[in-house]
């Protein structure tokens, strides 16, 4: 086995986005830094984030507006974001020859739209600052004495450091190594850890017609959610149909509210496939098609009325005999068509699990962390970053920005 130093100034446990940032920044300060990574590669989740395109941050340069996305954590994050905010993220990557482009809804991506390029920048940043990396290393024990970590132990080696940065992530996408190890260690150390639940996650539905549309998306529509028949909220945007239900940014960013609603009772949804067309105008459009194709079977001309790609899966949901000739469709049945397209009904079964979660909440309460330094208030020489923190946030770059920010602050202070 290769011989290597076992004592360092700073040990970073976890080589994901926040761990790489923390290690690189600490190394830049002249610290001797070690990353211990359980996987056989660094940045496993980073490489697949944003469907491989990597939504690197949210281009919201007003700190108050940006922090509003983090809900209850907002007041705790002013200090770290004033030290390393959205503009700093742009400057950091662009100084390393990776330009950032801003797309719809202020989403910022590397110009190449390749998550691997973001990973390569971070890996080079750590390497340039002489960070030692040991992969395939599972930490079996974190040894604490008198309120300080004294060592971390793998099956073969005991490593020691002056400071430790925990960047092990949460429990979303467990196949990338996010299996909640850090939560277990933190509880043993005396930290309060909020139980994780899938937070930004697709929805599972009961309706077969939805599942038949797997792979189809509606780019501009409105979805409304109801608890026990009472409307709670609506959102406008893109919905992706899957073999288990609904996904896409609009759904992912609604899942936290839906999760809360499911605790009250039954949750249903309805999709308005023509949100910018009022009922009378849509009925007029339907009538125009009816007049033009009055001698055809209704089921054959329905695709001229319904949004592209959904006719075959939804024709059986209209509530009348669709084998009827168009001229024989009653006024009442014609209205059923319009009602359906303005409110396609869906029964929500629940949320998918951690394996499909983009983000899971849970983790250490920010009341137990000095967020000016990301230092634990419980363990004297411990710093915490990224998904180990109990912070809810939407998709769209806020999650990675949290990693860059907290990683930077921890690396600067450890």
Task: Answer yes or no: pTM beyond 0.75.
Answer: no
Model confidence at 3, pLDDT cuts 50, 70, 90, reads low
Is residue 193 over pLDDT 80? yes
Model confidence at 177, pLDDT cuts 50, 70, 90, reads very low
Encode pLDDT of 283-327 as tens digits.
999 999 999 999 999 999 999 999 889 999 999 999 889 888 999
Is residue 176 over pLDDT 60? no
The tokens for 95 are 């100084």
How many angstroms separate the most distant Cα atoms in the chain?
Answer: 86
For tokens 């691997």, name the residue. Answer: 116
Is residue 359 over pLDDT 80? no
Count, residues in the chain:
414
Is residue 90 over pLDDT 90? yes
Model confidence at 179, pLDDT cuts 50, 70, 90, reads very low
Cα dihedral across residues 327, 330, 336, 342: positive or negative: positive
CA distances from 234 to 4, 14, 98 (A): 57, 38, 37
Give me the torsion for CA of 338, 340, 343, 344, rounded to 10°.
-150
Please say whether the beta carbons of 13 and 139 come within 8 A. Answer: yes
CA–CA separation, 102 and 105 (whole Å): 8
Which has the minimum average pLDDT: 96-100, 122-126, 287-291, 358-362?
358-362
> Can you spell out the DSSP letters for 290-306?
HHHTTTSBHHHHGGGTS
Encode pLDDT of 229-281 as tens digits.
889 999 988 888 988 888 877 888 788 788 778 766 788 999 999 999 999 99
Q: How do the residues of the chain divide into helix, strand and coil, expressed in percent and rounded to 5?
A: 40, 25, 35
Is residue 393 over pLDDT 90? no
The mean pLDDT value for 326-347 works out to 92
Is residue 331 over pLDDT 70? yes
The whole-number pLDDT of residue 365 equals 86
Mean confidence (pLDDT) of the chain: 88
Select, from the ranges 5-9, 117-121, 249-253, the one with the highest average predicted confidence (pLDDT). Answer: 117-121
Is residue 173 over pLDDT 90? no
Is residue 345 over pLDDT 90? yes
Number of Cα atoms under 13 Å in the Cβ half of residue 248: 20
CA–CA separation, 127 and 414 (whole Å): 18
The whole-number pLDDT of residue 70 equals 85
Taken in order of first residue, the domains within the chain and their CATH numbers are 7-198+360-413 (3.50.50.60), 202-352 (no CATH)
The whole-number pLDDT of residue 361 equals 55
């Amino acid at each position: 086995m290769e011989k290597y130093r076992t004592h360092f100034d700073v040990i970073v446990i976890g080589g994901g986005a926040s761990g790489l940032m923390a290690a690189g920044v600490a190394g830049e300060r002249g610290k001797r830094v070690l990353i211990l990574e359980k996987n056989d590669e660094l940045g496993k989740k980073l490489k697949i984030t944003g469907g491989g395109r990597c939504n690197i941050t949210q281009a919201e340069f007003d700190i108050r507006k940006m922090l509003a996305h983090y809900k209850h954590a907002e007041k705790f994050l002013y200090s770290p974001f004033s030290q390393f905010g959205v503009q700093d993220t742009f400057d950091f990557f662009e100084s390393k020859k990776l330009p950032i482009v801003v797309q719809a809804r202020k989403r910022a991506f590397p110009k190449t739209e390749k998550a691997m390029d973001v990973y390569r920048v971070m890996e080079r940043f750590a390497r340039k600052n002489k960070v030692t990396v040991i992969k395939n290393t599972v930490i079996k024990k974190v040894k604490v004495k008198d309120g300080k970590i004294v060592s971390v132990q793998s099956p073969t080696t005991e490593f020691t450091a002056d400071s430790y940065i925990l960047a092990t992530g949460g429990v979303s996408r467990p196949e990338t190594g996010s299996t909640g190890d850090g939560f277990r260690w933190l509880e043993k150390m005396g930290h309060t850890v909020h139980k994780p639940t899938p937070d930004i996650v697709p929805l599972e539905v009961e309706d077969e017609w939805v599942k038949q549309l797997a792979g189809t998306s509606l780019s501009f529509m409105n979805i409304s959610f109801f608890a026990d028949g009472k409307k709670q909220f609506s959102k406008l945007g893109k919905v992706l149909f899957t073999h288990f239900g609904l996904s896409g940014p609009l759904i992912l960013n609604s899942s936290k509210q839906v999760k809360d609603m499911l605790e009250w009772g039954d949750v249903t949804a309805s999709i308005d496939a023509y949100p910018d067309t009022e009922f009378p105008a849509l009925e007029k459009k339907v009538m125009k098609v009816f007049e033009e194709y009055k001698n055809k079977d209704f089921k054959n001309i329905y695709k001229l009325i319904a949004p592209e790609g959904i006719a075959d899966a939804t024709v059986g949901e209209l509530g009348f005999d669709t084998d009827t000739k168009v001229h024989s469709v009653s006024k009442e049945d014609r209205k059923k068509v319009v009602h359906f397209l303005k409110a396609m009904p869906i029964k929500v079964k629940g949320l998918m699990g951690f394996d499909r979660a983009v983000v899971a909440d849970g983790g250490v309460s920010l009341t137990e962390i000095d967020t000016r330094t990301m230092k634990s208030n419980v363990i004297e020489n411990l710093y915490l970053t990224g998904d180990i923190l109990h912070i809810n946030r939407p998709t769209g770059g806020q999650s990675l920005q949290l990693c860059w920010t907290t990683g930077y602050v921890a690396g600067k202070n450890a």
